Amino acid sequence: MAEQLPTPAYLYNEHARNVAPDDYWGQVKRTVNGKPVGQDQIDMIVAAMLTALDLAGDDELLDLCCGNGALTTYFFQRCRGGLGVDYSGFLIEVARRNFVRGAHEQYVMADAVRFVGEAADTARFTKALCYGAFQYLGQGEALLRDLRMRFPNVARFAIGNLPDRALAERFFVNAMPEPAVLARADTPLGIWRTREEFAAMAARAGWSATFQMMPAAFYASHYRYDAILSRA
């Protein structure tokens, strides 16, 4: 019989289960040298994504691959609320237990690509976010296409913390992996793309892309970028 490999969702569940219940950043692997990042780093992420989304009080946000909601909650507080989607049932339970402030803030366990391809009631969302996760989606382009076609009122999609293929040497200082490995979604850092590659993929899906870099004090600023998509 063929060996059953653990699913990626199972791996996220198991990791989070083995981290302290209140170590929200550790649960989503937002760590440096094994330690959760500081509040200054979170503040920089929140500021960058608020700018990228141009988030306003009357926006309704779809947060794809939202993890445990520890980041999502900063954005829900700045708009009408919305929906967080993640395929880790454990992290969704953490979000529901700790970060829901009312019926306007919801979290659902689902594969992000499937959700975007199949969800009903899509017209209510005006902005979408995917932070620290798009590079793990093997079907990222399909998600972009379905979000463009099926979510008619999403004016902006902010995709944060993408590893830059053009800057990979800054991260892999000792040994560069093979190009084929850098193109795989199921690796610890996911798919590395140049900004040009990302813009071309977004264009094929009907989005026009701009890019921003984090301040130099951000722990991953030397090899990552954020993409801001608007309807082409």
Binding-site member from 86, 105, 164, 226 for ligand SAM (CB under 6 A): 86
Q: Which of residues 107-146 bind ligand SAM (CB under 6 A)?
A: 111-113, 131-133, 136-137
The pair of three-digit structure tokens given for residue 226, joined into one six-digit string: 């954020």
Asked whether 89 and 109 are in contact (CB, 8 A), the reply is yes
Residue closest to ligand SAM (Cβ): 67
- Binding piece for ligand SAM, criterion CB under 6 A, among 53-61, 81-89, 175-183, 208-216: 81-89
Binding-site member from 65, 83, 162, 199 for ligand SAM (CB under 6 A): 65
Nearest approach, Cβ of residue 222 and ligand SAM (Å): 18
Give whichever of 44 and 196 is closer to ligand SAM, judged by the CB atom: 44
Residue 227 touching ligand SAM (CB under 6 A): no
Helix (H, G, I), strand (E, B) or coil at 201: helix
Residue 223 touching ligand SAM (CB under 6 A): no
Give whichever of 62 and 133 is closer to ligand SAM, judged by the CB atom: 133
Residue 12 touching ligand SAM (CB under 6 A): yes
- Binding piece for ligand SAM, criterion CB under 6 A, among 64-72, 100-108, 145-153, 174-182: 64-72
Binding-site member from 49, 52, 53, 66 for ligand SAM (CB under 6 A): 66
Asked whether 158 and 129 are in contact (CB, 8 A), the reply is yes
Interface contacts to ligand SAM, rule CB under 6 A: 12, 28-29, 65-67, 70-71, 86-88, 91, 111-113, 131-133, 136-137
